[in-house]
Every structure is written in C-alpha cells, then in structure tokens.
Amino acid sequence: DTGVSQDPRHKITKRGQNVTFRCDPISEHNRLYWYRQTLGQGPEFLTYFQNEAQLEKSRLLSDRFSAERPKGSFSTLEIQRTEQGDSAMYLCASSLAWPRTEAFFGQGTRLTVV
Amino acid sequence: GENVEQHPSTLSVQEGDSAVIKCTYSDSASNYFPWYKQELGKRPQLIIDIRSNVGEKKDQRIAVTLNKTAKHFSLHITETQPEDSAVYFCAASRGTSYGKLTFGQGTILTVHP
C-alpha cells in the first residue's frame, strides 16, 4: 500500500498517560496534516507541516499536544496527560505543495482514554 | 475563521434516485471545495473537487456546483446505487494549501435497494 499509513490503528490508554502516534505520508508529498474526528462530526484541522517546518497550529491544539516532523518524512503526534475528551479518531493526511494536489488521508488512529 | 454548514445530516433514497447535499461557507476567500466520502471504519476519500474559478464539474454520476456569490456549493449524485451509501463531507480551503480544510458536519447517505 503506497498510501498514507498510520500506526497504531487503535490505542487504549488510561487517563493521565502519554501517547504518541505516527504517520507516514505518501513518499513524495511534502505537506502533512493532522486532524481529529469525533463520532458524528467532520474532521477538525489540528496542524500542518511543509517539509519539517510546522506552518500552522489550530487553537484546538492545546499545550498538551505536540507534533513533529523531524526529517520532513514521517510525523508524530504526542498527547501528554491524556483526558477522556481526547478520545477521538486522529487522522493524518498528505499532499503536494506543487503542483498542488488534494489531501490523501490515512485510516487514522482511534484513541480511547479510559 | 471559516465555517462550513452542511445539510441534510441524513438522506435516505431509493436505488436509482438522485441525491443532493448542500453546503454553505462563510469565508469569501475560500477557493477550493472538495467532497470526501467516508465508509464505516475507513479513511475519507476524495470523490470530486471544484476550484473557485469554475461553476460546475461532473465526473460520471457525480457533479458539484458552486455559487460564489451566495457562498454555497452542492453535491449531486444521480442513479444512486447501494454502494453509494456512506458519510459524505464537504470542505472548504483558502490560499495555497489544498489540505488545510474546514469540514462540514457530514451527511449520512443511505441508498435502499
């Protein structure tokens, strides 16, 4: 599969624990996006990178959330001191900056905080 | 920031009928409007998109129309089939990034055989 891949697919964690998710974009894509999707809602933008630079962060991204893309390839999203309200599907997407392409989504990581 | 409203939230049709989903957006600078289909437990997949310099685009049974003045756009699916059943999301974007999207709330489309 040469699409966007995310790992793990499912994560159950206890409240207060830290979790980290990984996203591998389509190899030639230089833009990478993180979204959060709760049940019955559309995805909400969290942050995006062009190469290794984090260009924008949503107000939704509290200081417990941090994202990195150290070498401009894969990205990680870490949530510290998880709360029950963090339970959601975390989606990653990638695209080309030029020529501009649409965003291709991964299958997501479903986080459950108990 | 951008706000995208999508209606209806659920839509039930008989196989062979047409389905129409409508979205409105608030940011007049938005210039890219994709539609994604998401089947249960799967990733959102782009089915059609339109840029602000175009009023209509068709791809087989699917069409999208855009009214920039009224700031609304619609998805039209003709000759619906049971495999069209899914959640459909509209979205809007501005600037040079087609991936930084504001999504609507989604429409659950059910096509009955």
Give the integer Cα–Cα distance in Å for A44 and A46.
6
Reduced DSSP (H G I as helix, E B as strand, rest coil) percent helix, strand, coil of chain A, to 5: 5, 50, 50
pLDDT of residue B1: 82
Contacts B43 to A, Cβ<8 Å: 3-4, 91, 105-108
Give the integer Cα–Cα distance in Å for B104 and B89.
6
Closest partner residue to A48 (CB to CB) among B4, B42, B100 is: B100
The phi-psi region of residue B52 (left if phi > 0; otherwise alpha if psi is between -120 and 50; otherwise beta) is alpha
**Cβ atoms of A22 and A91 closer than 8 Å:** no
pLDDT of residue A1: 52
Q: Does B105 touch chain A (CB under 8 A)?
A: yes
Phi, psi (degrees; rounded to nearest 5) at B84? -80, -10
CA dihedral A57→B105→B51→A90, nearest 10 degrees, is 40
pLDDT of residue A12: 98
Phi, psi (degrees; rounded to nearest 5) at B6? -130, 135
Furthest-apart CA pair in chain B: how many Å? 42
Q: Pick from A44, A114, A108: which is nearest to A82 by CA?
A: A114
CB contact under 8 Å between B89 and A45, yes or no, is no
Q: Does B98 touch chain A (CB under 8 A)?
A: yes
pLDDT of chain A along its 114 residues, tens only? Answer: 579 999 999 999 999 999 999 999 999 899 999 999 999 899 999 999 999 999 999 988 889 999 999 988 999 999 999 999 999 999 999 998 877 788 999 999 999 999
Q: Which residue on chain A is closest to B88 by alpha carbon? A: A42
CB contact under 8 Å between A93 and B99, yes or no, is yes
